[in-house]
Amino acid sequence: MSDEIKKDGKKTPLIVLGVICVAAIVGAVIYLVLDGIGVIGKKDQKATGGDADKPGSSVVSDYRDKVIKVGDYKNFSYDAFVEEVTDEELADYYEDVLTYCKQVGLSYYEKDDSRDGTEIKDGDTVNIDYTGYLDGEAFEGGADTGFDLTIGSNRFIDGFESSLVGKKVGETVDINVTFPDPYDNNPDMAGKPVVFTVKINYIGKEIELTPDNIYNLVFNFTSKEEMEQNVIKDMLEMKRQSHEIEMQENYINHIVEGSEFADLTKEAEDYAGRIISMLEQNVTSMGYDFSQYITSQYQFGSVDEYKAALQKDCLDEIKRSGVLNVISDTENIVMSEDDFNSIALEVISDYNSTDVAAYQSSYDEMYGQGAFRQYMFDIYAIETLFDKYAVEKPAIATGADAE
């Protein structure tokens, strides 16, 4: 449908296969990358590979000095990825799609033969072809074919929908309306009288979406089998990525568990305090009660309960940061500017951003100068160490392959 004659200028929501969340794939795997907490509030920052402002360098925190002993990072084996999508996962995928369609009000219609010969009434969904004319000439953006319009939805400019009430399937009618003034969709049409020639194709009835018809209605595949092939391919890629993230997480945990640290209680409390202070400032600036926000949005019983959980997470990240910095010194791990930009683009894309410099500036303003580069460096170091030292376990044969 053209935006030209729509009253509100809003478009019908579209579904893209890749944006639907498939909860059945692997559950919540959190990529606890080290986020540069060591540089927050630090004045005597060190650098790996040169000054922090130079390409390829990264500010490194003093938390390395809290590491008494580094755990074994050269001997780690991890489970091989199992390339499989189960029937249950596919069923859950279909359920997620149908739930999403219902939530956003996505509807499809087919001809209702029982309504042939009956008059259109308010609330009916009619399938129409229309063309708009200004001074006898069809104007750009004023035409569409096979459009489903629910009478009374106020999707079109005033007078269009009401003029179809009482008409019948098969009729072609001329509707005289005047564009509102002002008209933001197209200021050139504001206040101008036009005529729409409308052919009423049929009165529709809503189609119930099922796993057997969404392939065509929602995703425009030629068959359910074709859709499933694409779904399985995407799910396997997501599972593969999640598996890699989980194995890297296990690798870092393995190193930290074998390491020894000086007392980091105060550091964890200070870091958690900074996070809470920033969060409270943002929440209250929006007019919300901080305590109620924590209990309702984060599902904690109280702010104190949230603080305790946050301090534990901060302690874990501080340990990881310190250990990773010490190992990076030993292994002489230096991130190039190309690596920095590549990782940064991947990270900020999750937040619908493509401007690395702008995102880096905002991040550093909040967490401290050099924090974003440290964040990217830690991701790079984790991947580098994992690729160098982690060894995949042989896959265990199952079923007929085990014989």
At 30, the pLDDT band (50, 70, 90 cuts) reads very low
Question: What CATH number has the domain bearing residue 385?
Answer: 1.10.3120.10
DSSP 140-178: EEEEEEEEEEETTS--B-TTTTGGGTT-BTT-EEEEEEE
- CA–chain centroid gap for 276, Å, is 25
Considering the chain, what percentage of its residues have pLDDT values greater than 70? 82
Q: Are residues 60 and 190 in the same domain?
A: no
Instruction: Identify whether the C-beta of residue 15 lies closer than 8 Å to the C-beta of residue 98.
Output: no
In a domain, 311, yes or no: yes
Q: Are residues 84 and 182 in the same domain?
A: no
In a domain, 4, yes or no: no
381: enclosing H helix or E strand: helix 371-389
Looking at 206, 233, 252, which one is the last position of a domain? Answer: 206
Q: Are residues 394 and 265 in the same domain?
A: yes
Phi, psi angles (nearest 5°) of residue 18: -75, -10
How many residues in total does the chain contain? 403
Looking at 160, 178, 206, which one is the last position of a domain? Answer: 206
Q: Are residues 363 and 242 in the same domain?
A: yes
Q: Are residues 314 and 251 in the same domain?
A: yes
In a domain, 94, yes or no: no
Q: Are residues 122 and 30 in the same domain?
A: no
The candidate with the shortest Cα–Cα distance to 257, out of 300, 316, 314, is 316
141: enclosing H helix or E strand: strand 137-150
Phi, psi angles (nearest 5°) of residue 331: -90, 0
pLDDT tens, residue by residue, 283-293: 999 999 999 99
201-219: average pLDDT: 93
In a domain, 379, yes or no: yes
Q: Are residues 168 and 257 in the same domain?
A: no
Q: Are residues 77 and 135 in the same domain?
A: no
207: Cβ contacts below 8 Å, ≥ 6 apart: 107, 108, 109, 110, 213, 217
Looking at 141, 174, 206, which one is the last position of a domain? Answer: 206
pLDDT tens, residue by residue, 330-356: 999 999 999 999 999 999 998 889 999
253-269: average pLDDT: 95
Phi, psi angles (nearest 5°) of residue 75: -130, 100
Going from the C-alpha of 65 to that of each of 60, 69, 129, 325, 328, the distances in angstroms are: 11, 10, 73, 10, 14
Residue 242, pLDDT above cutoff 70: yes
pLDDT of residue 71: 96
At 223, the pLDDT band (50, 70, 90 cuts) reads very high
Tell me the pTM: 0.66
**Whole-angstrom distance, CA of residue 313 vs CA of residue 372:** 19
Q: Are residues 125 and 40 in the same domain?
A: no
In a domain, 329, yes or no: yes
In a domain, 28, yes or no: yes
pLDDT of residue 367: 65
Q: Are residues 298 and 246 in the same domain?
A: yes
Specify burial of residue 387 (Cβ count, 10 A radius: 0-12, 13-18, 19+).
exposed
pLDDT of residue 369: 77
Residue 203, pLDDT above cutoff 90: yes
pLDDT of residue 336: 93
Total domains in the chain come to 2
pLDDT tens, residue by residue, 356-400: 999 999 888 766 677 788 788 889 999 999 999 999 987 665 544
Question: What CATH number has the domain bearing residue 137?
Answer: 3.10.50.40
In a domain, 327, yes or no: yes
Domain residues for the domain of 78 are 18-88+225-402
Q: Are residues 300 and 379 in the same domain?
A: yes
| Residue 247 one-letter amino acid | M
Taking the C-alpha atoms of 60, 66, 69 and 74 in order, what is their torsion angle to the nearest 10 degrees? -20
Other beta carbons less than 10 A from residue 170's beta carbon: 11
pLDDT of residue 205: 95
Residue with tokens 């799910």: 235
**Whole-angstrom distance, CA of residue 382 vs CA of residue 388:** 10
In a domain, 317, yes or no: yes
**Whole-angstrom distance, CA of residue 105 vs CA of residue 181:** 30
Q: Are residues 170 and 269 in the same domain?
A: no
